[in-house]
Structure 1
Amino acid sequence: MMMPLLFNLNDKTALVIGGGQVAARKISALLGNGAGVVCISPEFSERIREMKNERLNLVQGYYERKWLKEIDLAVAATDCRELNRQIKADCASEKIWCNRADDPDDSDFIFPSVIRRGDLTVSVCTEGASPFLTKSIVADLSKQYDESYAERTELLRVLRKHILAGDETRKEKAEKLEAFSRCSLAALREKCKEIRNPVAKDKRTQEELEKNR
């Protein structure tokens, strides 16, 4: 059983050995999360070539242990199980985390399926037991947590920063933050508008007082 973690890959370098469709998926995930990637293979798929940019270095050739120098993590994604096994062993001796695309059980980490909605990240993984079940769960969660959650998390971040900077007790702050997490999107927008425009808020409060006199 693996423990789910979130890593900051900015300024990290990943080595991907392999040039096929599996390697392409791993490269896409790594680039999408801020890592720089060195990909080594005798040949590269068209998809990998299309991804070529300043953070993806394509090296046409065969794997050698020397490529593990100054690497933060590695992915063995060749079509040869024996080579993938050797890459994993080399990484272990160099204390580099390695993913074997052909053997999750012999991997230090794996790539879960991910749903992103702004600051909200939901990952799903069956650790290789059933990719089809993973796909089904991701489809269900994608409907439940739609694109509106990107705005919701952005607004909650603004409110959290505002509340934590206030003078209330820790308990009062926690109660407010919990209440905000249950608010509708419209209510969150209104709360953030009040924070950004306190003059308008004070004016509305005064108008309400006048009406109640």
Structure 2
Amino acid sequence: MAYFPIFTQIDGKRCLIAGGGKVAARKVYTLLQYGADVVVMAEKVCGEIKEVLPEENVFEGVFKYIHKNRCNKNEWDIDENKYDTGGNISNTELENTLDKRYSSNSNLKNISYDLEISENLLESLSADLSEDLLKIRKNIFLEKEIGKAFLVVAATSNREENHHIAELCHAYNVLVNVADSEEESSFIFPSVVRKGDISIGINSGTGSPTVSKHIRKQIEKAVPDYYADIAVFMGKLREYVKANFKEESQRRYILKTAAAEAFAEERVLTQKEIEEIIRQGQK
């Protein structure tokens, strides 16, 4: 399937990467090139990601998913002291609370607090209930981060988790790329050639990264670095021409001639050369 290429501006926009491996690292590098505010969430984050992101943008491990200062314990009818004793205490009270807050049809969008429960409490609960509680804590934070994101990349090694992230993104109308499922993706993360402000996105339409990578290498060879300087030069010249020449024929002549000469000379034109082109365009 052929995809329509769309370019967007992400400078300063929050981009969430779910996953902390090599695939996630490549996405992080690409997004950072365009000034994105990249946040990574994963059970384990590789060193390559930690080297390029500030610590506050990396959420690693279950307990680091929680902003504890934002928790409102009064919303939860749980006496933690009962459970921290380590005695033979029933889990009924906690189970009832979780059932009340998170029924199978619950909508988490209106939740404005995080569940903070001590690690001692988690250790005293049954293994199954403790694991459920950890999942709830993780999902609350995950959903909040998705709600704040401009775009999301689901690049975990877990198919079920990637699917869950995709569903949340679709519910919130947030752009999502799912590394292991084009069908669940609302945008395709392209292979990118970057030369200054020139960006070329590549997608093979076959789901094969190998094909896109081969094409990218060919394009990198075909597009010289000086093209970036010419692009900046032509952008400035275009603004000058638009502001000073009303006739479309003059504008077209100056810009077309300047571009042709710049590419022929493989460099930015001098002021004298530009003035001569303008003089010819005014005849």
Q: What TM-score do the two structures reach when normalised by structure 1? A: 0.82
Deviation at 1:187, TM superposition (A): 8.1
Contact 2:229–2:268, Cα closer than 8 Å, also in 1: no
CA distance 1:39–1:188, change in 2 (3 Å): closer
Matched to 2:202, the amino acid is V
For 2:39 and 2:266, how far apart are their aligned partners in 1? 46
For 2:260 and 2:165, how far apart are their aligned partners in 1? 48
For 1:184 and 1:72, how far apart are their aligned partners in 2? 38
Partner residue in 2 for 1:137: 215
For 2:158 and 2:215, how far apart are their aligned partners in 1? 31
Give the root-mean-square deviation of aligned CA atoms: 2.4
Structure that is richer in strand per residue: 1
For 1:150 and 1:114, how far apart are their aligned partners in 2? 15
Point out the more displaced range, 82-91 or 1-10. 1-10
CA distance 1:158–1:72, change in 2 (3 Å): closer
For 2:231 and 2:145, how far apart are their aligned partners in 1? 40
Partner residue in 2 for 1:122: 200
Partner residue in 1 for 2:59: 59
Matched to 1:59, the amino acid is F
| Aligned partner of 2:268 among 181, 189, 197 | 189
Contact 1:104–1:128, Cα closer than 8 Å, also in 2: no
Secondary structure in 1 aligned to 2:245?
Answer: coil
For 1:9 and 1:149, how far apart are their aligned partners in 2? 23
Contact 2:16–2:39, Cα closer than 8 Å, also in 1: yes
Number of corresponding residues: 197
Contact 2:16–2:149, Cα closer than 8 Å, also in 1: yes
CA distance 1:168–1:100, change in 2 (3 Å): same
For 2:206 and 2:160, how far apart are their aligned partners in 1? 20
Partner residue in 2 for 1:83: 161
Partner residue in 2 for 1:73: 151
Partner residue in 1 for 2:107: none
Contact 1:180–1:188, Cα closer than 8 Å, also in 2: no
For 1:41 and 1:154, how far apart are their aligned partners in 2? 39
Partner residue in 1 for 2:89: none
Question: Is residue 2:250 matched to residue 1:172?
Answer: yes
**Cα displacement string for residues 63-122 of structure 1 (whole angstroms, at most 9, x for unaligned residues):** 423332322221111101011001101111111111101112220112111112223222
| Highest RCO, 1 vs 2 (Cα 8 Å, sep ≥ 6) | 2
Partner residue in 1 for 2:116: none
CA distance 1:34–1:173, change in 2 (3 Å): same
Secondary structure in 1 aligned to 2:149?
Answer: coil
Secondary structure in 1 aligned to 2:238?
Answer: helix
- Tell me which structure has the larger Cα radius of gyration: 2
Contact 1:113–1:138, Cα closer than 8 Å, also in 2: yes
For 1:170 and 1:59, how far apart are their aligned partners in 2? 54
For 1:24 and 1:30, how far apart are their aligned partners in 2? 10
Contact 1:155–1:188, Cα closer than 8 Å, also in 2: no
The percent of aligned pairs where both chains have the same amino acid is 29
Partner residue in 2 for 1:209: none
Contact 2:147–2:174, Cα closer than 8 Å, also in 1: no
Matched to 1:2, the amino acid is Y
For 2:29 and 2:178, how far apart are their aligned partners in 1? 16
Secondary structure in 2 aligned to 1:104?
Answer: coil
Contact 2:196–2:228, Cα closer than 8 Å, also in 1: yes
